[in-house]
Amino acid sequence: MSPPCPTPVAWETLVAYWAADLDAGEQDALEAHLMACPSCSAESGRVAAVTEPLRRALPPLLAPGQLAQLRSKGLRIRENPIAPGEVSRPRIGTDVDVFLHRLGGLELARAQRVSFEMREEGTDRVMIAIDDAPFDRAGNALLLACHAHYAELPHDVIVDVRSHGDDGRESRATYTIHHVFV
């Protein structure tokens, strides 16, 4: 067991380090400390064991560049375009790596910001809320990714998307998705 560190690194700092959220100076100082401190280095290893799988996990909303990266890796991606007000009943099987809901029907060409909220249908329990969501401006859509890891989540969801225009106007679209994992 390593001797205790007289100036232990905070857990939050180690998480920020493994999430690549530190600036270069902070990162250099932390790495110097970790190289000299067996106790903090061991703690950093424990944080890495938790955060690394999370970094590799697929976020619920993808930016167009992220989608391009997944395609370049050869992932099997099936797209499901959905219009506002539509009820989609996709069957998601093991034949795809990523099932991508393309939430369309919003005017995003002049969007300054897009907010996203996904709720469990019937309970209105908010599962995901993103105030500044990534979106595909050129494709005029939000790219909602589903994969096998999401099968444990409620299958019937309501998605609300709000586009906040550069002129101050707001438009809203609602999508209903009833996932069927086969």
- Summarised one tens digit per residue, pLDDT across range 111-135 is 999 999 999 999 878 888 999 999 9
Burial of 109 (0-12, 13-18, 19+ CB in 10 A): exposed
Cα angle, residue 40 at apex, residues 37 and 44 outer, rounded to 5°: 130
pLDDT of residue 47: 82
pLDDT of residue 52: 60
Pair 88, 82: CB distance under 8 Å: yes
Map out the domains of the chain with their CATH numbers.
11-56 (no CATH), 61-181 (2.60.40.10)
In the predicted model, what is the mean pLDDT of the chain? Answer: 87
Mean pLDDT across 43-63: 76
Q: What is the pLDDT of residues 62-110, one digit of tens each?
A: 999 999 988 888 888 999 999 999 999 998 888 888 889 999 998 898 8
Q: How far is CA 11 from the centre of its chain?
A: 22
pLDDT of residue 180: 84
Q: Is 112 helix (H, G, I), strand (E, B) or coil?
A: strand
pLDDT of residue 94: 81
DSSP type of residue 11: H
pTM: 0.68
- Rounded to the nearest 5°, which phi and psi values hold at 136? -100, 95
Q: How confident is the model at residue 168 (pLDDT cuts 50, 70, 90)?
A: confident
pLDDT of residue 36: 93
Q: Is 108 helix (H, G, I), strand (E, B) or coil?
A: coil
C-alpha to C-alpha distance for 96 and 110, rounded to whole angstroms: 33
**pLDDT at position 147 over 90:** no
Q: What is the pLDDT of residues 3-41, one digit of tens each?
A: 789 999 988 898 888 877 788 999 999 999 999 999 999
pLDDT of residue 35: 93
